[in-house]
Structure 1
Amino acid sequence: MNQRDPFTDFQRLSTEADNLAHDLAGFRQELNRVLEQNAELIIENKHLRGRLNELAPSTETEPKPAMLPSRRNLEKLYDSGYHICNMMYGARRENNEPCAFCTNIIYGNNRSHQKK
């Protein structure tokens, strides 16, 4: 019967622990890099959205076409940040990003009056 050598087992476990610690340190560095990049992108995105809002022509001055009351209600819900399309109805729109399905429901084929 082969008897295991405790010292050999200890060396093997020690080597595996060292390798694991090295891998963990590398993972920590990569995670920090990704988190920093994410923070930079969030800030850049915020600045770009602000700049887009500055450059976008104001839709407030354009006259809106006459809409049925039901569509105006849907538009209010959509403007409040909620989906009104059948795919995501009632879900919050992430960062108030536009949804093509919702805007199609509100404005139909008349996209010239669509909010930006």
Structure 2
Amino acid sequence: MALFFKVLTKLDVERTLSLPDGCLQALPDSQSSHGKELQVMDDVGILWNFRCVIRSGVVPKLNIVSGWIQFVRVKQLSSGDRVVLYRDDDSLTGARYKIEVLRSHESSKPGI
């Protein structure tokens, strides 16, 4: 099940990923009232550890503040690229999270 789909902004690729409203309830519970740990697997099977922090306000906002910039650099993400976060629930192992990157531009090969 897709939790969110987001087109990345300049701020997303330079500092922190701000998650859409409603994602907070779908993430794993944490002992900390101020943040959550999120482990996600990318398309090649690499596990990424993200630290999510809850920003207070009228509507609490969730930002990925740790591990995100390393992910951006390794994946060479830029503004306009898209990310999709999925959650799969398994009755034995619990929730598992996957992240998918969709490039803003597809490389096209010239026809032969």
Query: What TM-score comes out, normalization by structure 2 length?
Result: 0.19
Structure possessing the higher radius of gyration over alpha carbons: 1
Which protein is richer in helix relative to its size? 1
Which protein is richer in strand relative to its size? 2
Q: Which has the higher contact order (CA 8 A, sep 6+)?
A: 2
